[in-house]
Amino acid sequence: MKKIRYAPASRVWITGTIVAAGIVFSPFAFPENAVQEPVNLAFTLADTIDRTKAQNSNEEKKRAAESKAAFADAYKVFMHPRCMNCHPSGDAPLQGDKSTIHTMNVQRGPDGKGLFAMKCKNCHQDANLEGEHLPPGIETWHLPTAQRPMVFQGKTPRQLAMGFKDSAFTGFKDIHRLVEHVETDHLVLHSFTYGTRPPLSHKDFVARVKEWIDKGAELPDK
């Protein structure tokens, strides 16, 4: 059974004296203004912190919304046939504005450059050929490799954005390499030079990708 410990009479007396002295002398030690001002200051400070927090929260929300809006614009380019045709969900490239499977049973191959006598560069030259139904071309024509196929086809904006934030999907050390890729990669630049063009100019496309990342690389809702 637990023992109840009573305070000795001397301890009660000393404590009571100190409290009484505090009550008697407090007006001299803490004049009214000297107490009130720090309290007001504290309230003002707390209020300011609350308002700043609210402002920051609003700014963060605005920034996130802008990031998502930028990705929504860039997504239209990523999913345009000029880009998506070389980021298919299967192992065959797509072709044309309807993104149909490439004729001739062309296959990706391990290095993304085709197989056997059906390699990309067998037909695709170092530059676009003039005339109808002739293959477009650039020196580095290829698909992503079999090991890292970077599939765009069938991805929602959210899924694609998640992919871009995943170095296993992109092969880039960090997300800023994505900007470098869309800004300088010859194949990306080339996509804006032939056939039905993507819905943004290359300059605007790069700006929207940059904005998406600079404003937090927010994931779209869907």
Partner 1 sequence: MIKLTVNGKSYELDLPSDMPVLWVIRDRLGLTGTKYGCGVAQCGACTVHMDGEAIRSCVTPVSRAAGKSIVTIEGLEPSLSKPLQEAWTEIDVPQCGYCQSGQIMAAAILIRDQPQPTDNDIDNAMAGNICRCCTYLRIRQAIHLASRLKSSNAMLSAI
Contact with partner 1 (CB under 8 A): which of 103, 173, 221, 222?
103
Q: For 118, list phi and psi in degrees, rounded to 5.
A: -120, 50
- 134 is a site residue for partner 1 (CB under 8 A): yes
Under the binding rule (CB under 8 A), the answer on residue 166 touching partner 1 is: no
Tell me the two tokens of residue 58: 């609003």
Taking the complex as a whole, how short is the minimal distance between the CB of residue 129 and partner 1, in angstroms? Answer: 6
- Beta-carbon contacts of residue 85 (< 8 Å; ≥ 6 apart): 93, 94, 95, 96, 99
CA dihedral 11, 15, 17, 22 (to 10 degrees): 170
Indicate the residue among 112 and 220 with the shorter CB distance to partner 1. 112
According to CB under 8 A, which residues from 30 to 89 bind partner 1? none
Stretch that binds partner 1, among 52-60, 105-113, 171-179, 201-209 (CB under 8 A): 105-113
Among the listed residues 50, 60, 97, 126, the single contact to partner 1 using CB under 8 A: 126
Tell the smallest beta-carbon distance from residue 109 to partner 1 (Å): 9
Asked if residues 209 and 70 have their Cβ atoms less than 8 Å apart, the reply is: yes
Q: CA nearest 209: which of 81, 168, 194, 201? A: 201
How far is residue 128's CA from residue 152's CA, in Å, rounded to a whole number? 24
Collapsing DSSP to helix, strand or coil, 9 comes out as helix
Q: Which is nearer to partner 1, 13 or 116 (CB)?
A: 116
Pick the closer one to partner 1 by CB: 42 or 104: 104
Q: Return d(Cα 107, Cα 86) in angstroms, integer.
A: 11
Can residue 90 be called a binding residue for partner 1 (CB under 8 A)?
A: no
Selected from 70, 83, 84, 106, the binder of partner 1 by CB under 8 A is 106
Residues in contact with partner 1 by CB under 8 A are: 103-107, 115-119, 121-123, 125-126, 129, 131, 133-135
